[in-house]
Chains A and B, each alone.
Chain A
Amino acid sequence: MVSREEHAFPTRHLINGEAHRDRTEVESFAVEPRLDATKLLRYVKGIDEFPRPMDPSEIERLRDPFAELLLKRGTFPMSLRAVLVAFDAFNDDPLGLSDQESYLVAEGGQIRWTPETASLNRGFRFAVTRERGGEFQVLISASTSLDSESDHHFLQVVGWDSDNRVYHYYERRMGAWIWAGNSRHALEPPTRGNGPFDSHVNGSLVMKELKLPWTHWHSMSASIQDDVLAPDDPLRTEPLFTGKKGAEDFEKRVIKSGITRWNEARLDGSVADDGTVSGVPLLMRQVLETTTINLVSSDQESHLVQEDSQLRLPTSFFFDRDALLNRIDLDPQIDPIGVEGRLYLESMERYDFALVDDWGTLWQKGDTFFAFLVPEPAFEDLDVLSQLLGRNILTARFAACLLMVDFPNPVFSTRRRHLMRYVPDQVRLTGEGSDLPSAMVEAIETADPSPPPGSPEREFLDNWSVPEAEWKATFERRIEQYFQALAAKANTEEGFDGFVRLADSRRREFRASPLAEFGLTLPTTNIPKDEPFLQMTEDGTVVSTPRRTT
């Protein structure tokens, strides 16, 4: 039997950038290589070949509280508890971060402890924030082995540097603290996608299951209670566990505002005094591409679905409602799509839904705790859209015309991504907005004055040709017609089967990303992993995706 504390939990290491999957490697407590624990090292993957001591000028540029209060003063706490104690020492200091909150996530957090499930690695990890009033300053992400100094139990810190307006990323690794880069390293090669930025894709904070019901997180929708712990597990009385707050607080107070804080800094840096906006493709890829995702599910628990009940599916499975409705303010008269419980239960049987860990052990038949967990557009992409709209770099109409291209596919749309080739490197703010819309329209029309029917260019130009006074009503009507088609499909066996296969397809695309760390995050099915990816059409039918090209 393997206890919680014995479970290895390396997650995304900043140094090699690869999550360990080999059980013998991660759970054999072999002698770990050690680095110099008395120095702050740096290893910015893509730039640095090896971890090396930071020189004084580099250290001086770190202005986040983790560096200012601890690292620059030669304090290198090597466990989660030691980090918190080290911060506590400054609680009476004006610079100290005396306010602390803890949050808990665990993919196996709803699987009760029994002797039979004792060996399950539930994937417990804490997120702990430190601040002094106002916004959080330091976010510590760690395994629940509070006193461990071993690489088998990860310990990472994200600190907000208000001088440079970036997050700094640190990890304790091989007995030393290593600076792995700052938010700006996420944006461009050679560091984009490397180290911490394989999952902090745009340099910001990550909480995959960001929205109600916050699947996998302790929240007001589903508590992670102490009966998922062994009877003698010391975590039962650990204040970080007993005093943990709900994910609903983490979402609003920490993650969303933390993402906005960084995006504001980015946008401020992109707009020059003369109104020139530079680095436009880096911004627009977060409008037209799926740079990363969040996961969203039904608000209903899968094991409580009955044959005669209705299961509400997440609306953002069907279109980017956050962008089109909550930011652009389209207001179609539609309702959430519901399906008969019978169809959902039959699909779980047909496709052999199960929760399987990283080592292939099946722990539970059926879906995740909350039903129908699927990728949705990421808040960090949505927030960039909001800021582009707020600064008049994009108009609502132009953004809607772009996002209504292939709108039934809110994530992984190759058709919208295709339009990236028409995004200029820089644009200028004008009195009424920016010249981005005219530049893109001109580029598309120049490339082919009459793009073929069915092409992304044609679809965009058709959208753009809708008169100013009519675009909202026109797009709302399209969404209403789409939802009428979806509602009709949803309660037919064939129609809902398409939804289930599409959900599986999107999960498979997500699983290919570094953000997919844990087997138990998503359900497995018997659908072959090499099945073609699928897409939704505007008539509610699911079809195969044409071969992916950019």
Chain B
Amino acid sequence: MKLERFDPPGFLEDFNDEQRARWSEIISDQFDAGVQGRPDEFDFDAPREQFYNPTQVETGPDAQSVDISWVGFPRSVEVTSVSDLQRWRKTETSRTLQDEYCEWSVERDPDSGKITRVSFTCEGPEYWRFLAETTPEVALDLYRRFVNPQVELGDLFLSNGQYNPLNRWNASTVEGAMHLIQQSNTLGAEIELAAGSSVVREIDSKVLTGDRELIECGKYGGVERHSDPHIGGQVNSLTRQKADVTLANPVGLYFDDLSTADWETPDDSDPKSFWTYVRGTEEKPVRAVYEVPPEQGFVVSDITISGRPIAFGAQIADFVRIKLTGVATRFGQSTVAPMTGCRRDKALDEAASLASFAFGSALDLERAATR
């Protein structure tokens, strides 16, 4: 059956009926754009015939939902750092480094410097732009509830009346994180990622299967992230089974879990009990807070992870998992032929593009007895 409409991420209830209808249209348009790709600008980009808009195309009775999850701490920082201290410190210099669809802001006690609260968000900026520009007072109320009671309407908007996602209360790692702002952390990127990675690619008679070779060839996301190559690889593994794929309703990024193994609290209370989802449903949470209630008599920085006190929100992000949910249907039925080239800018010539994607000799399987 066809999906009647796309719901807001996390089944949030900030919208009125009119906004709900319009939001569904916005997401539906994004899906249509994802299906079409950008054939005018790129070769081997489209069509994406195994990706579909579930409000336009039936989802079959054999549909399977697949949760795809990854760690919230940015891989791009981890692999370019030599120590934990270096990577934690680096990640909290700027939200632009928090590129795993998980961003956070840290509040500290001004006297002791200890962390009192860490707020995590995985809400896409599109939702907030739409909400703020259609019902500014609702957006303001949410900012005041979840970020700071001192937020004023004028803080959120530019002089031309447009919502400013990089407003003071959402632009840093210390003054608040209402929604995602890192340039790649968008719902549009999520949809394009699912759409682009749905293309099965066969290069030089070899079907690509590896997460990173697929993203390097399909260019549908950031290769240095945990998330994009992994999501793309999982989606592509479904389309290689000749299934059609889409994203589950409501489309969004969600918190999957927080693992607190080897965390210790001063009073032996359960460290996971201080992790609270404050927006979205239990199954589809989009905002989480790590904070110890005052009556407990200690704060976040008094908790240790592997013996080390929590001095950075990034230490918590190491244990946060983010997820999205894909849907696959009509297994074994797709007749779409694999694409035989890698996505390339039409302005580049073919030779240059192919040269940019190396297929090492390691892909050539050989079997020969050596002893």
A361 with B213: CB separation less than 8 A: no
B237 contacts across to A, CB distance below 8 A: 223, 225-227
Asked whether A303 lies within 8 Å of B79 as measured between CB atoms, the reply is: no
A361: chain B residues within 8 A (beta carbon):
367-370
Do A362 and B370 touch (CB < 8 A)? yes
Q: Do A302 and B362 touch across chains, with their CB atoms under 8 A apart?
A: yes
> A360 touching B369 by the CB < 8 A rule?
yes
Contact of B79 among A112, A116, A299, A304 (CB under 8 A): A299
- CB of A477 closer than 8 Å to a CB of B: no
Contact B211 A303 (CB under 8 A): no
8 Å CB interface, A352-369 against B: 354, 356, 360-367
User: Chain A residues near B32 (CB, 8 Å)?
Assistant: none
- Smallest Cβ distance from B194 to chain A, in angstroms? 16
Q: Which of B70, B85, B216, B367 is A362 in contact with, Cβ under 8 Å?
A: B367
Asked whether A326 lies within 8 Å of B307 as measured between CB atoms, the reply is: no
Taking a contact as CB atoms under 8 Å apart, the answer to whether A325 and B83 are in contact is yes
- B273-322 residues with Cβ-Cβ distance < 8 A to A are 306-307, 318-319, 321
Residue of A nearest to B79 (CB): A299
Which residue of B80, B307, B363 contacts A390 across the interface (Cβ within 8 Å)?
B307
Whether B226 contacts A220 by the Cβ 8 Å rule is: yes
Query: What CA separation (Å) do A364 and B362 show in the bound complex?
Result: 6
Does residue A61 face the partner (Cβ distance < 8 Å to B)? no
Q: Does B82 contact A315, Cβ atoms closer than 8 Å?
A: yes
With A114-B365, A256-B261 as given contacts, are A325 and B84 in contact (CB-CB < 8 Å)? yes
Number of chain A interface residues as a range: 35 or more
B369:A260 contact, CB within 8 angstroms: no
Flag B327-371 by CB within 8 Å of A: 1 or 0 each.
000000000000000000000000000000011111111111111
A543 on interface, CB distance cutoff 8 Å: no
Q: With an 8 A cutoff between CB atoms, is B195 at the interface?
A: no
Question: Which residues of chain A are near B359, meaning CB under 8 Å?
Answer: 303
Q: How far is the CA of A226 from the CA of B233 in the complex (A)?
A: 12
The B189-226 residues at the A interface (CB cut-off 8 A) are: 209-213, 216, 226
A252-B319, A321-B83 known; A362+B368 contact, CB < 8 A:
yes
Q: Given that A220-B230, A256-B306, A364-B362 are known contacts, is A225 also in contact with B209, CB under 8 Å in the complex? A: yes
Q: Are B261 and A253 in contact (CB under 8 A)?
A: yes
With a cutoff of 8 Å between Cβ atoms, the chain B residues found around residue A227 in the complex are: 209, 237, 240
Nearest CB of chain A from residue B251's CB, rounded to whole Å: 21
Which residue in chain B gives the minimum CB-CB distance to A366?
A: B362
What residues of chain B lie closer than 8 Å to A420, measured between beta carbons? none
The answer to whether A117 touches B367, judged by C-beta atoms less than 8 angstroms apart, is yes
Task: Please tell me the size bucket of the interface on B.
Answer: 35 or more
Query: At the interface with chain B, which of A40-48, A196-204, A331-339, A500-508?
Result: A331-339
Residues of chain B within 8 A (CB-CB) of A360 are 369-371
B366 near A335 with CB under 8 A, answer no
Chain B residues, Cβ within 8 Å of A212 = 75, 78-79
List chain B residues, Cβ under 8 A from A321. 82-83
CB-CB under 8 A from A79, the residues of chain B are: none
B83, B226, B234, B369 pick with most chain A CB within 10 angstroms: B83
A117 and B365 contact, Cβ closer than 8 Å, known pairs A222-B211, A305-B360, A331-B83? yes
Judge if B71 is at the interface, Cβ distance under 8 Å.
yes
Q: Is A110 an interface residue (CB 8 A)?
A: yes
Whether B259 is near chain A, meaning CB under 8 Å from some CB there, is: yes
In whole angstroms, how far apart are the Cα atoms of A528 and B79 in the complex?
Answer: 33
* Residues in chain A near residue B259, CB distance under 8 A: 249, 252-253
**B4 interface residue (CB < 8 Å to A):** no
Measured in the bound complex, the distance between the Cα atoms of B70 and A302 in whole Å is: 22
| Contact, CB under 8 Å: B362 / A256 | no
Given the complex of chains A and B, what is the CA–CA distance between A356 and B360 in angstroms?
18
* Among B70, B211, B358, B360: residue with most chain A CB under 10 A: B360
Q: Restricting to B54-102, which residues have a CB under 8 Å from any CB of A?
A: 69-71, 75, 78-86
How many angstroms from the CA of A356 to the CA of B367 in the assembled complex? 9
A306 within 8 A of B: yes
Residue-wise interface mask of A (238-274) relative to B, using a CB-CB cutoff of 8 A (1 in contact, 0 not): 0000000010110011101100100000000000000
- A386 adjacent to chain B (CB < 8 Å): yes
- Bound CA–CA A77/B24 (angstroms): 52
Question: Cβ of B262 < 8 Å from any Cβ of A?
Answer: yes
With A223-B234, A257-B262, A326-B83 already in contact, the answer to whether A110 and B366 are too (CB < 8 A) is: no
**Chain B residues with CB under 8 A of A386:** 306-307
Is A312 part of the binding interface, using a Cβ–Cβ cutoff of 8 Å? yes
Question: Given contacts A227-B240, A303-B360, A305-B360, are A248 and B71 in contact (CB under 8 A)?
Answer: yes
Q: Would B210 and A222 count as touching, CB distance under 8 A?
A: yes
Closest residue of A by beta carbon distance from B213: A304
With a cutoff of 8 Å between Cβ atoms, the chain A residues found around residue B371 in the complex are 360
Closest to B263 in A: A257
Instruction: List B contacts of A135 (CB < 8 A).
Output: 261
Q: How far is the CA of A326 from the CA of B308 in the complex (A)?
A: 10
Residue in contact with B85 in the complex, picked from A306, A329, A366, CB distance below 8 Å: A329
Residues of B within 8 A of A88 (CB): none
Contact with B along A215-226 (1 / 0, CB 8 A): 000001111011
Determine how close the nearest CB of chain B comes to the CB of A225; give it in whole angstroms. Answer: 5
In the complex, are the beta carbons of A254 and B261 less than 8 A apart?
Answer: yes
Q: Does the CB pair A302–B360 fall under 8 Å?
A: yes
Minimum C-beta distance from A222 to chain B (A): 6
From B212, B261, B307, A301 is in contact (CB under 8 Å) with B212
Q: Which residue of B lies closest to A352 (CB)?
A: B370
Q: Which A residues are CB-close (under 8 A) to B226?
A: 220-221
- CB neighbours (8 Å) of A345 from chain B are 360
Tell me whether A86 is interfacial, beta carbon within 8 Å.
no
Q: With a CB–CB cut-off of 8 A, which chain B residues contact A362?
A: 366-370
Minimum distance in angstroms from B195 CB to a CB of chain A: 20
Q: Is A111's CB within 8 Å of the partner chain B?
A: yes
Known interface pairs A212-B79, A222-B210. Does A366 touch B84 (Cβ–Cβ under 8 Å)? no
User: Whole-angstrom distance between the alpha carbons of A248 and B240 in the complex?
Assistant: 25
In contact, B75 and A260 (Cβ under 8 angstroms): no
Nearest CB in chain B: distance from A367 CB, A: 7
A383, chain B: closest CB distance, angstroms: 8
CB-defined interface of B256-271 with A at 8 Å, one 1/0 digit per residue?
A: 0001011000000000
**Using Cβ atoms and an 8 Å threshold, which residues of chain B touch A222?**
210-211
* A301 and B365 contact, Cβ closer than 8 Å, known pairs A336-B82, A366-B360: no
Nearest-neighbour CB distance to chain B for A23, whole angstroms, equals: 12
| B209: A residues at CB distance < 8 A | 112, 225, 227
The docked-state distance in angstroms from the alpha carbon of A364 to that of B216 is 22
Q: How many angstroms between the C-alpha atoms of A246 and B362 in the bound complex? A: 24
22 contacts between A and B (CB under 8 A): A212-B78, A223-B237, A225-B233, A248-B71, A252-B319, A301-B210, A302-B362, A303-B213, A303-B361, A305-B360, A321-B83, A325-B85, A325-B86, A329-B85, A334-B82, A336-B80, A354-B370, A361-B367, A362-B368, A364-B364, A366-B362, A367-B362
Given contacts A248-B71, A305-B358, 16 further A-B contacts (CB under 8 A): A222-B211, A223-B211, A223-B230, A227-B240, A253-B261, A254-B261, A304-B213, A321-B83, A325-B83, A331-B83, A345-B360, A360-B369, A362-B370, A363-B365, A363-B367, A386-B306
**Leading 3 A-B pairs by shortest Cβ distance:** A366-B362, A257-B261, A325-B83
